Amino acid sequence: MLPQNINAEIITIGDEILIGQIIDSNSAWIAQQLNLLGINVYQITSISDNNKHIINALDLASSRADLILVTGGLGPTRDDLTKSTITNYFNAKLKKDETVLNHIRQLLEPKKVTVNELNIGQADVPDNCQVLHNAYGTAPGMWFEKNEKIYVFMPGVPFEMRGIVKEELLPRLKQYFKSPAIVHKTLMLQGIAESMLAKHIEPWELQLPSNIKLAYLPSPGIIRLRLTARGDSQKALAGLIDVEINKLKPLIEDWFFSEQDEQLEMVISKLLKNNNKTISTAESCTGGKLASLITSISGASEYFRGSVVAYANDIKIKILGVPAEIIATNGAVSQTVVEIMAQQARELFNTDYAIATSGIAGPEGGTPEKPVGTVWIAVSSHNQTITKMYSFGDNNRERNIQRTSSSALNELRKLILLETEGE
Amino acid sequence: MLPQNINAEIITIGDEILIGQIIDSNSAWIAQQLNLLGINVYQITSISDNNKHIINALDLASSRADLILVTGGLGPTRDDLTKSTITNYFNAKLKKDETVLNHIRQLLEPKKVTVNELNIGQADVPDNCQVLHNAYGTAPGMWFEKNEKIYVFMPGVPFEMRGIVKEELLPRLKQYFKSPAIVHKTLMLQGIAESMLAKHIEPWELQLPSNIKLAYLPSPGIIRLRLTARGDSQKALAGLIDVEINKLKPLIEDWFFSEQDEQLEMVISKLLKNNNKTISTAESCTGGKLASLITSISGASEYFRGSVVAYANDIKIKILGVPAEIIATNGAVSQTVVEIMAQQARELFNTDYAIATSGIAGPEGGTPEKPVGTVWIAVSSHNQTITKMYSFGDNNRERNIQRTSSSALNELRKLILLETEGE
**What's the CATH number where B398 sits?**
3.90.950.20
Among residues A352, A262, A260, A347, which one has the least CA distance to residue A303? A352
Question: Which residue spans within B81-136 are E strands per DSSP?
Answer: 94-96, 124-126, 130-132
Judge: A312–B292 Cβ closer than 8 Å, yes or no.
Answer: no
What one-character DSSP code corresponds to residue A302? Answer: G
Same domain (yes/no): B211, B136 = no
List the domain range (segments joined by +) for residue A248. Answer: 181-258
Would you state the pLDDT for residue A1?
38
Question: Could you tell me how far CA A334 lies from the centroid of its own chain?
Answer: 35
Q: What CATH number does the domain containing B16 carry?
A: 3.40.980.10
Same structural domain, A170 and A81: yes
A369–B contact, CB cutoff 8 A: no
Q: Cβ–Cβ of B18/A43 closer than 8 Å?
A: yes
Give the lowest-confidence range in A142-156, A295-309, B105-119, B386-400.
B105-119
β pairing state of A374-380 and A353-359: antiparallel
Which of the given ranges, B103-117, B209-223, B341-355, has the highest pLDDT on average?
B341-355
User: For B43-70, how does the pLDDT look when each residue is reduced to its tens digit (9 = 90+)?
Assistant: 999 999 889 999 999 999 999 999 999 9
CB nearest A312 (choices: B23, B292, B306): B306
Which of B22, B33, B312 is closest, CB to CB, to A217? B22
Distance CA B160, CA A31 (A): 26
CB contact under 8 A, B305 and A298: no
Q: Is A194 on the interface with B (CB under 8 A)?
A: yes
| CA A384 and chain centroid, separation | 35
Averaged pLDDT for residues A38-63: 94
pLDDT confidence band for A79 (50 / 70 / 90):
very low
Angstrom CA distances, A330 to A325, A326, A377, A400, stand at 8, 6, 15, 22
- Is there a contact between B45 and A45 if contact means CB atoms under 8 Å apart? yes
Structure confidence at residue A19 as a pLDDT band (50, 70, 90): confident
Q: Would you call A287 and B287 a contact, using CB atoms and an 8 Å cutoff?
A: no
DSSP-assigned letters across all residues of A84-126: HHHHHHTT--EEE-HHHHHHHHHHHGGGT----HHHHHTTEEE
Confidence of residue B384 (pLDDT cuts 50, 70, 90): very high
Please compute the mean of the pLDDT values over residues A137-142 and round it to a whole number.
92
Residues B20 and B87 reside in one and the same domain? yes
Q: Would you call B39 an interface residue with chain A, using a CB distance cutoff of 8 Å?
A: no
Alpha helices in A122-233 (DSSP H): 158-164, 170-176, 194-200, 202-206
With respect to residue B149, please indicate whether it lies within any of the assigned structural domains. Answer: yes
The per-residue pLDDT for range A365-386, each reduced to its tens digit, is: 999 999 999 999 999 999 999 9
Task: Give the separation between CA A119 and CA A75, rounded to whole angstroms.
Answer: 9
| Cα gap B311→A56, rounded to integer Å | 55
* The pLDDT of residue B80 is above 70: no
Last residue of a domain, one of A140, A161, A176: A176
**Would B187 be classed as within a structural domain?**
yes
Query: Cβ separation of B304 and A311 shorter than 8 Å?
Result: yes
Residue A1 lies in a domain: no
The sheet with strand B256-258 has its strands ordered as B212-219, B222-231, B181-190, B256-258
CA B133 from centre of chain: 23
Q: What's the domain count of chain B?
A: 3
Q: How many residues does chain B have?
A: 423
- Nearest by CB to residue A306, choosing from B75, B311, B363, is B311
Of the candidates B29, B157, B71, the one whose C-alpha atom is nearest the C-alpha of residue A20 is B29
Instruction: Give the end of a domain, one of A223, A258, A293.
Output: A258
Q: B30 touching A, CB under 8 A?
A: yes
Domain-terminating residue out of A152, A176, A200: A176
The ipTM of this complex is 0.81
Report whether pLDDT(B234) > 90. no
Q: Which of residues 153-192 of A touch B (CB under 8 A)?
A: 184, 186
Same domain, A286 and A397: yes
CATH of the domain at B190: 3.30.70.2860
Chain B nearest CA to A358, separation (Å): 13
Task: Say if B369 falls within a structural domain.
Answer: yes
Task: Give the pairing type, strands A279-283 and A304-310.
Answer: parallel
Distance CA B35, CA A15 (A): 12
State how far the alpha carbon of A373 is from the alpha carbons of A158, A360, A392, B91, B171, in Å. Answer: 40, 6, 5, 42, 30
Residue B107 has pLDDT above 90, yes or no: no
Same domain, A381 and A317: yes
What residue in A sits closest to B226 (Cα-Cα)? A21
Do B137 and B31 reside in the same domain of the chain?
yes
Least confident of A160-169, A179-188, A344-353, B235-244: A179-188
As a whole number, mean pLDDT of residues A305-310 equals: 98
pLDDT of residue B332 exceeding 80, the answer is yes
- Do residue B352 and residue B382 come from a single domain? yes
Same domain, A36 and A151: yes
List the beta bridge partners of residue A54: none
Picking from B28, B32, B309, the nearest residue to A306 by CB comes out as: B309
Find the closest chain A residue to B57 by CA distance.
A43
Is residue B12 domain-shared with residue B161, that is, in the same domain?
A: yes
Please check whether residues A117 and A19 belong to one and the same domain.
yes
Q: Is the pLDDT of residue A423 over 60?
A: no
Closest chain A residue by Cα to residue B11: A45
* Residue B323, helix vs strand vs coil: coil
**Does residue B277 register a pLDDT over 60?**
yes
Least CB-CB distance to A28: which of B17, B292, B294?
B17
Residues A254 and A273 in one domain: no
Same domain, yes or no: A17 and A139: yes
H/E stretch holding B281 reads strand B279-283
Residue B108, pLDDT score? 85
Q: Which of A168, A151, A166 is nearest to A13 (CA)?
A: A151
Reported as a pLDDT band with limits 50, 70 and 90, residue B2 is very low
Q: What pLDDT was estimated at residue B1?
A: 38
The predicted pLDDT at position A112 comes to 67
| Cα(A222)–Cα(B216) distance, integer angstroms | 33
